[in-house]
Structure 1
């Protein structure tokens, strides 16, 4: 059966928002169906082999939480990890397209205690492992203390075993999944002729899920990346996307660093009569 792309369309609700905006979902809908598994697992395997230190980090004492993560993922997808001496969270991440980030609260603040992050969106794992939510969200508009305080309160209140979902989206210059720094992509866009807008422009959608671990008390934050070339999307989807793009305010556009894409999106809209 042909997949409907993109599988998630948060832009249908308007521009990106810097608010938690969580919706509760059923456990059966947490990790399955995994629409990105085929392409994502191949990319993960390559990165784990070539650049493990860039895509996996753990802190001392995170092992119990990692074991619970592995158990939860195994149960959700109906598969068993092949451990091979790997940390539990790393082994679990090989079963799903999602990146897995374990948040724990050893004292007063939630910290990133372990993570497998093979498809980061402008996010460096090496610079954030062991940091608190406050430190991680400082660059976001209203992120310190506004957003981090809201997320802290949300993490504190999530019932054990409950799963919540939210989405984010942006535009990028190619189909790259591993994107810790957007600088190279902006450089690529700056060197690309506007006439090649159709070939260059891609939509990047993040599906984020949050699960409270019942045994160890941590929070598992999962990120599934869906990437599609704009030219491959149908007209209705493109109309929704262009409307959301045009409705984004200056703060959103500045944070997303969209200025380099403005002429390309205008040309794309003209090409497709949007």
Structure 2
């Protein structure tokens, strides 16, 4: 999401509160590693994660659905019951664990902070469910070629297109991910999908570095920092929090993706900047050429590593 969005009057309260949720998740701190599965168990109460950006993120979803619905929502015929199941589970979870942000009145949900009022009878059900939460919702259905993307409300993609991936298998979806197919990672993911039990909740993180903080980011990006100054002020850490849960009725898997954006320049004032900058630099330096190209950092890694080094080799100024 661009900074221009935060200047709208209805977004100012969210802008003021962003300081409290920066660096909410820092998978680059050594707790996980890129291009690995890295699934960890979570509790039912941790499945969904509404935060101070709830209202503007939902507003952005509504805008995208209104302006480019085919780009952000797709569903195969025959997924209607599974979509309804997802909606029911999300409503149940919000009602139980997130009553401060979601108020239920008859067949409607009122989002706190002047958010939308969502009619739960609206169709398609997966799109209605996605209008309640910041997470994107992807329905994965088993088939002869493994699990495939059978339905999705995907408003905030990270360098991939729903139109291109719709109805494709896991292996086809990840064909451009270095090391996924033909190696251990793809086999492990397939096994995890097959063995995920009803009632299990698992989570993983992915991070990338982007030249902006637009939420809707379907196109691959390339960052070139050669001969650039003020490296940190130009870039954003984009963290994906991904969860998996098997639907008890259909047996499908609901895959959620929530986006977090942190300006890299905010590291300068972070109390743990030395650890975070050092670990991020370490992860950057172990990426191989294919991984760097995939993350759009082939022409940025060295300059970025140098800028990060300055945060833990000298006194960094306060923003």
TM-score relative to the length of structure 1: 0.89
**Does 1:256 find its partner at 2:295?**
yes
Report what 1:114 is aligned to. Answer: 151
Q: Which runs of 5+ in 1 are unaligned?
A: none
Report what 1:166 is aligned to. Answer: 204
**Does 1:268 find its partner at 2:310?**
no
Q: Which has the larger radius of gyration?
A: 2
Report what 1:102 is aligned to. Answer: 139
- 8 A contact 2:225–2:231 mirrored in 1: no
- 8 A contact 1:34–1:96 mirrored in 2: no
**Does 1:124 find its partner at 2:167?**
no
CA distance in 1 between counterparts of 2:251 and 2:296 reads: 36
- 8 A contact 1:16–1:169 mirrored in 2: no
CA distance in 1 between counterparts of 2:220 and 2:303 reads: 17
Q: Structure 1 pair 14/74, CA: closer, same or farther in 2 (3 Å)?
A: closer
Q: Paired residue for 2:80, among 24, 41, 63?
A: 63
Q: Which has the higher contact order (CA 8 A, sep 6+)?
A: 1
**Does 1:218 find its partner at 2:256?**
no
Q: Provide the aligned C-alpha RMSD in A.
A: 2.4
The equivalences for 1:72-151 within 5 A come to 72-78=89-95, 79=102, 80=109, 81-83=118-120, 85-107=122-144, 109-146=146-183, 147-151=185-189
The equivalences for 1:171-210 within 5 A come to 171-183=209-221, 186=222, 189-190=223-224, 194-210=228-244
Per-residue deviation, 1:193: 6.4
- 8 A contact 2:225–2:304 mirrored in 1: no
Report what 1:42 is aligned to. Answer: 59
Aligned residue for 2:262, secondary structure, equals strand
- 8 A contact 2:50–2:134 mirrored in 1: no
TM-score relative to the length of structure 2: 0.77
Q: Which runs of 5+ in 2 are unaligned?
A: 1-16, 96-101, 103-108, 110-117, 314-319
| Count of matched residue pairs | 270
